[in-house]
């Protein structure tokens, strides 16, 4: 199957064409955010204050990149466990985020919010941090520099690979995979 190409900002039409199991290649701008940044963003939302980035149509990658080696825009940049962001994800989706990228499964609340707000959850390959970093052409901290690796970075990526795990139609690749390969016990 050929990979689907995406460029942010992402529209509802882009999202509704994606199905669990699709491979995507993302080029353009994505933002990074982990636990601490998510907490700060949601606190600002709850206070009705302006966010340091506009989430509408955007992609958030759950990563805390390693420092950039000389001559490179970023160090290793592998996904972190997405479940740690589950408490914040519905609010982020409500503010317009269209894609989140990480590793691992998501809560039922997040899966319902993905459907409600027409968004998808993608998995990046864990253990391939150095390879994923090669897709980053440019990197800059745009918010919360005091958080170090957990600051919000603006990444310019070219052909960043990921797989659709949860689509906006309620499908879950992890659940489908278990069903497809489940074996009944021998008698």
Distance CA 79, CA 63 (A): 5
DSSP letters, 167-185, are: -TTS-BHHHHHHHHH--PP
Cα dihedral 130→132→134→138 (10° resolution): -120
Neighbours of 102 (CB within 10 A): 26
Distance CA 85, CA 101 (A): 11
Question: CB-side exposure of 35: number of CA atoms within 13 Å?
Answer: 5
38 given a catalytic annotation: yes
Contacts of 43 (CB under 8 A, 6+ apart): none
Distance CA 102, CA 120 (A): 11
From 8, 15, 30, 38, the catalytic residue: 38
Element (H, E) at 121: strand 120-123
Q: Which residues are designated catalytic?
A: 38
């Amino acid at each position: 199957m050929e990979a689907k190409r995406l460029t942010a900002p992402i529209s509802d039409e882009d999202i509704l064409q994606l199905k669990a199991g699709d491979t995507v290649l993302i080029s353009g701008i994505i933002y990074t955010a982990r636990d601490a940044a998510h907490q700060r963003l949601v606190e600002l939302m709850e206070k009705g204050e302006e966010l340091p980035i506009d989430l509408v149509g955007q992609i958030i990658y759950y990563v805390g990149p390693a420092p950039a080696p000389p001559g490179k825009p970023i160090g290793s940049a592998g996904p972190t466990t997405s479940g740690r962001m589950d408490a914040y994800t519905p609010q982020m989706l409500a503010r317009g985020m269209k894609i989140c990228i990480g590793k691992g499964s998501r809560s039922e609340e997040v899966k319902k919010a993905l459907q409600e707000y027409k968004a998808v959850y993608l998995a990046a390959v864990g253990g391939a941090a150095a390879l994923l970093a090669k897709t980053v052409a440019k990197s800059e901290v745009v918010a919360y520099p005091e958080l170090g690796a957990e600051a919000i970075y603006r990444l310019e990526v070219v052909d960043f690979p990921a797989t659709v795990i949860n689509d906006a139609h309620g499908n879950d690749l992890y659940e489908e995979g278990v069903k497809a390969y489940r074996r009944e016990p021998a008698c």
